[in-house]
Amino acid sequence: MPFARRARCRLYYEVLGDPSLPALVLVRGLARSSRYWGALLPHLAPFRIVLVDNRGVGRSDATLPPYSSRQLADDIAAVMDAAGLDRAHVFGMSLGGMIVQQLALAHPARVDRLVIGCSTPGGRHAHRASIRALLALRDAHDVDRQLAILVSRATPELRDLWLAIAHDEPARWRGVLGQVAAGLRHEDIIIPPANSRLLAERIPNATLVMLPGARHDFTSDRPVESARAIVEFLGAAP
């Protein structure tokens, strides 16, 4: 299995697709390994996909917390080095969206086009999550509770996938707490949609796409529509 190494931390990654295609790095959110991209991947055929397990989850090491979004962004740069990528498109959602913002700021030459999903810029102008939404995370270790919070309709296939991942990748609390710290130091974890509008207003040449009815984990909720928006924005529409 391929690993990048950074500061004594092994970072798991995979590269899928034809090497001649433009590269797209996918960065998941809190306590989510790359396996959670699930049904989205078949619809991203115009790209060579780089999947990453962030520090603390999946097959990557769980170093001592706390983490920061900048630290996790530097991890992504190390993965790109290991994969032989000088520059790539990058898509991050939720905590992953915070990470890829930091990647673009700290390593601008490495990022071609940037896609940020259900995330926030942080800071005093950001819209914070409701207490009710944050309290809902108390039961996030329960797959059925996760599905009820994060998607609008839980298909049997999605439930089976998440159950399999939960079985194969039991939570390592050191890693989860480290990622929680990264999210809270950047902003709250379940993100109000107003933050997407704020990001679109502040990033030059940004395009805002809203998926009516989709919940926080929109790539699981609406994989076809999500992929279509990503492909069209990145300029690889067939």
**CB neighbours (10 Å) of residue 98?**
31
Model confidence pLDDT, tens digit, residues 53-105: 999 999 999 999 999 999 999 999 999 999 999 999 999 999 999 999 999 99
Give the CA-trace dihedral at 149, 153, 157, 161, to 10 degrees: -10
Residue 238 or residue 213, greater confidence: 213
Beta bridge partners of 93: 117
Tell me what the pLDDT averaged over the chain comes to: 88
pLDDT in tens, 198-208: 999 999 989 99
Distant-in-sequence contacts of 165-172, Cβ < 8 A, 24+ apart: 165/33, 165/35, 165/36, 169/33, 169/35, 169/57, 169/58, 169/59, 171/31, 171/141, 172/56, 172/57, 172/62
Q: What are the sequence ranges of the domains in the chain?
A: 3-129+172-234
Q: Select from 3.40.50.1820, 3.30.1360.10, 3.30.2080.10, 3.40.1000.10 the CATH code of 3-129+172-234.
A: 3.40.50.1820
| pTM for this predicted structure | 0.90
* pLDDT one-digit tens code per residue, 108-166: 999 999 999 998 877 666 666 654 554 454 445 688 888 888 899 999 999 999 999 98
